[in-house]
Chains A and B, each alone.
Chain A
Amino acid sequence: MLSFEAKYRQEAMEVPARASFGLLKIWIGRFYLGFWGVVALVFGVLGSGVWFWQVLFVDPNRTNNPLLNFIRGQIYPPPPEVGLSITFDGSKGFWWLFVVFCATVTFFAWMMRQIDISRLLKIGYQVPIAFGAVFSSWVTIQILRPILLGKWSEGFPLGVIPHLDWLSAFGYRYYNFFYNPFHAIGITLLFGSAFVLSLHGATILSAARKKSEGVTEENVNRFYWDFFGYSIGEVGIHRLAFWAAVLSVLMSNLCFVLSGTVVQDWSGFWNFWDYAPWWKGFGFN
């Protein structure tokens, strides 16, 4: 335990349980267990176990090298012919469904466990909310969108390199994914997040451990006022951080769910612009 930890564990034990939170207040070493921890553990081990078994021992493309198999192996989703039905025939993608199910439960339980711990520590729930955003991406891509399109085959194969392959093909399937507006917004926020992170990390590191020289956050403020005209402040930067990161993921959800359902050609999507009513009368059309 950390030097100060004991009193917080004490405090946590005194927080009354409510609904599914606060049950099984046990720590295994440094990890908190809780009811949701048990769920996450069980389904996590189950799902991972099946994945490793499939990739290392069953995948028809496996080589003699387990490390290489780890990178290139995959579990295939069900073929398009079965649609949304769940067949218990291993060759028809059953194990994909199984692992996706286990993973979904595990991720959900992980999020609930974060809520549990936040509650015990009497802090806000921003962390599980942020995790919830990423969890929603998983659900959108592997479950929601396949259901909308009526085929499990629309989900991605469970494999390190194969899911990259799938992503590449997915983009090209819709002609040119760069023209997807929600993809563009998501990417802007994604690169923006990296930018903000870089700024924030560098800023704090530039001012840290210089108290003896009289450096306070006032110096940081002045630095930002000088070169940029605006200093967002120590609270503001963390709000910006949280919202930029969470929104990037939520916008990306949209970019996925709209492809194949409503829009087939993101390049041609923008053709409406040239024929918009506000350009009439200028002699362009």
Chain B
Amino acid sequence: MVEKENFPAPPPGAVAVYDERQRSILIGELVGLVAFTILALGGVIAISMALADWREFEGFRAESTYNYAGIQQVDFVEYLRRRDQTLAQPSAEALQAYNVWQQQNPRTVNVQVLTKYLGEEYNSTAKVFAYMSKYFTPGVGQSCEYCHNLQNFAAYDKPQKTVAKAMLIMQFELQNKWINSIPRPEGQPLYQLQCATCHNGQAQFWNSVDKNNPTLENLAKFGIAGGGNPTQYDMKHYGITLNGKPPASYEIVDDKLLAARPDANGEVNYFQVTADKTTPPGLNDTYRNQAAMYHMNVALNVGCDFCHYGGYFKSYVTAEGTFKWPKSQSRHMVGMLQDIAINWFPQMPKTDPNRGDYAQPNCWMCHRGHVVPPGAYLPAADEISRQVSDPEIRPLVDLPLPKPKLPKN
């Protein structure tokens, strides 16, 4: 403040005098401001760190960067470790039973799916065992006896085995149709779907929970409460329906998505683009968009600018001309979600016939808060599936592939 000795006497009627009281008030304000800032900062940091405990994905690293470069896959073992889980192995009892079985049956008895999609070498029991203990056991977190009768591995005593077989067909079909055709830049590896990709180490996970009774604990991992996540009330008022009712907030597949089909040019709008003269009045479509987009944010743990050029969401290209591969891939993936929802989940058998329908698939199911699903695999040479013209489970509706968005030139 100005030194007192240089200060002229205040004119009559002056309200404020720079006396000690004024000075102490001002200093008090400044100190209060600093203290508040520190406390507020501390409060935010404390809350953020507390948040990191129960949020499913690993919180506050910057896997989302404005200038996306070189995403690494989180290893599945590491993914499990962060949940205090370990990779499941066949139990000692199962191994013993297998050894007996393998001695008696060096060639498989009724393996059909693996031989059809992967080749004749899967007529060997040992080969099948190797494949199953590498992918099935850790993938669903269960030892062999969960599906198999240990005295007769070929038998379909348990409903789990029937379900697993159907799911294996679904896995290969989805791989062949959708994953193998995903638009990607040069150098990006091609991953394989396996049990772990969806199941992530659990036989039953929330997607397979009766959708009329999802546990709040599982929903919490999805960030159901607060933020941009819509409630059923919101969905109802924005006219978003699934089978005529407002979907749960984690259900990105809705009536509109189920009905979308590519036109003659292979163009399809799974999510209504909302920025041209033909757009009808009302903010409902935008809301639907944003709710779905927020799901993608949470499912991949990326900011909006990972896929989008923030200036113009419709564009596949940034202002500088960089092609946004993630947006193109995301569009492709949404087509896959549609396929799963229309063709595959309705045909999957259930272990308990009294349980309700499977919940709709969504991005979280596989991505679990990472750009590359932790349960996806880079295959060995003899683990790459091939096209099969007569799958045992056929699609209910033939969904044409949309034309992929690719960089021009």
A positions within 8 Å CB-CB of B: 15, 79-81, 119, 122-125, 149, 153-154, 162, 165, 168-176, 179, 181-182, 234-235, 243, 247, 250, 254, 258, 260, 262-275, 285
Contact = CB atoms under 8 A, between A and B. Distances in A.
Interface stretch (B105-113, B118-126, B305-313): B305-313
B2 A181 contact: no
B303 A173 contact: yes
A271 B225 contact: yes
B64 A264 contact: yes
15 contacts: A80-B65, A122-B8, A170-B66, A172-B303, A175-B297, A176-B227, A181-B44, A250-B37, A263-B48, A267-B227, A268-B51, A268-B227, A273-B225, A274-B225, A275-B54
Max chain A Cβ within 10 angstroms of own Cβ: one of B8, B45, B66, B301: B66
Contacts of A285: 216
B67 A153 contact: yes
Contacts, number: 129
A122 B6 contact: yes
Given A269-B51, A271-B55, 19 more contacts: A15-B6, A122-B2, A122-B8, A149-B62, A154-B66, A168-B311, A169-B66, A170-B66, A173-B303, A182-B40, A254-B37, A264-B62, A267-B227, A267-B228, A267-B297, A268-B298, A269-B47, A270-B227, A271-B226
Query: Range of interface residues on chain B?
Result: 35 or more
B220 to A, nearest CB: 7
A250 B47 CA distance: 21
B92 interface: no
A182 B294 CA distance: 21
A260 B303 CA distance: 10
A153 B51 contact: no
A270 B226 contact: yes
B2 A165 contact: no
Contacts of A258: 41, 44
B7 A175 contact: no
Interface of B: 1-2, 6-8, 15-16, 18, 29, 33, 37, 40-41, 44-45, 47-48, 50-51, 54-55, 59-62, 64-67, 69, 216, 220, 223, 225-229, 294, 297-298, 301, 303-305, 308-311, 319
B310 A153 contact: no
The 3 closest A-B pairs by CB, nearest first: A267-B227, A169-B310, A173-B303
Nearest to B63: A264
Contacts of A260: 62
Contacts of A272: 47, 50-51
Chain A binding surface SS class: helix
A263 B46 CA distance: 11
A176 B303 CA distance: 9
Contacts of A149: 62
A234 B41 CA distance: 34
Given A168-B311, A262-B60, A123 B2 contact: yes
B310 A179 contact: no
Contacts of B311: 165, 168-169
A173 B305 contact: yes
Contacts of A234: 15
Nearest to A169: B310
A285 B2 CA distance: 58
A250 B36 CA distance: 11
Contacts of B304: 172-173, 175
Contacts of B228: 175-176, 179, 267
Contact of B227 (A165, A181, A243, A271): A271
A119 B301 CA distance: 53
B45 A165 contact: no
B100 to A, nearest CB: 49
A264 B60 contact: yes
B50 A254 contact: no
Contacts of A123: 2
B370 to A, nearest CB: 13
A165 to B, nearest CB: 5
A174 B51 CA distance: 16
Max chain B Cβ within 10 angstroms of own Cβ: one of A80, A119, A182, A264: A264
Contact of A173 (B59, B66, B301): B66
Max chain B Cβ within 10 angstroms of own Cβ: one of A173, A265, A275: A265
A9 B220 CA distance: 68
B67 A172 contact: no
A157 B226 CA distance: 33
Contacts of B216: 285
A17 B8 CA distance: 19
A281 to B, nearest CB: 15
Nearest to A270: B226
A250 B303 CA distance: 25
Given A176-B228, A264-B60, A273-B226, A247 B33 contact: yes
Contact of A262 (B40, B48, B298): B48
Contacts of B45: 262
B40 A275 contact: no
